[in-house]
Amino acid sequence: MEGKMEGLTKEQIIENQKKELQTLAAQNCILGNQAKEAQKIAAQLKEELRIAQSDNETLKEAIVSRFVSDWGGKA
């Protein structure tokens, strides 16, 4: 980049740096939006996992209850 800037005026260098900063700012904005979307997805997955764990616990309780009921009835 040093070689490129040798023939440029101070104003051209400043203008190039402004453009580069604008590009970086746009990329930063995109990354910020992607991070927000990832956080939303993570929250949804966390809720789905909580529901699945709850359903699994309910199923376990039903199986144990059925086993105790069947075993108790045959004793």
Tens digit of pLDDT for each residue in 49-66? Answer: 999 999 999 999 999 999
Q: Where residue 5 falls among pLDDT bands split at 50, 70, 90?
A: low
pLDDT of residue 41: 98
CA distance 5 to 15: 12
pTM value is 0.61
CB atoms within 10 A of CB 68: 10
Alpha-carbon Rg for the chain, nearest whole angstrom, is 31
